[in-house]
Amino acid sequence: MKIDLLGMRITIRRQPPKRRKAPTGRPIGRPRHEPTYATRARVREMAAQGLYQADIAAEIGISAPTLCRHYQAELDASPQIIGGQND
C-alpha cells in the first residue's frame, strides 16, 4: 500500500493480463466452435435417440455448455421428432 503526500491511500491498478500467444503469434487455446449442417443433423439424431447432453457433447468433441450455446434449437426439437408430431 502506498500513501500520497496528504496521507491518502493510493490504489495501484494493474492492467489485465494480455492473452498469451504461441511463438507463432497465434493465441493459445482451443479454436472457436463453428456448427455445420452435418453436426446439427448429428446432434438432432442423437437427441432423438435420448442421449444425455454430456454424451452428445463428448461425441462431437465439445463441452456441454458449448453444445447448449450452439445447438439449443436441435436439443429442443428432439421431443417433437420422437413423438412424430409437430405442435
**Domain residue spans of the chain:** 34-82
In tens, the pLDDT along 50-83 reads: 999 999 999 999 999 999 999 999 998 866 544 4
Higher pLDDT, 60 or 20: 60
Q: What are the Cα distances from residue 55, in Å, to 2, 14, 19, 28, 40?
A: 53, 41, 31, 26, 15
CA dihedral sign, ordered 61, 67, 69, 72: positive
User: pTM for the complete prediction?
Assistant: 0.59
Question: CA torsion 67→68→73→76, rounded to 10°?
Answer: 110
Helices (H), the chain: 37-48, 53-60, 64-83
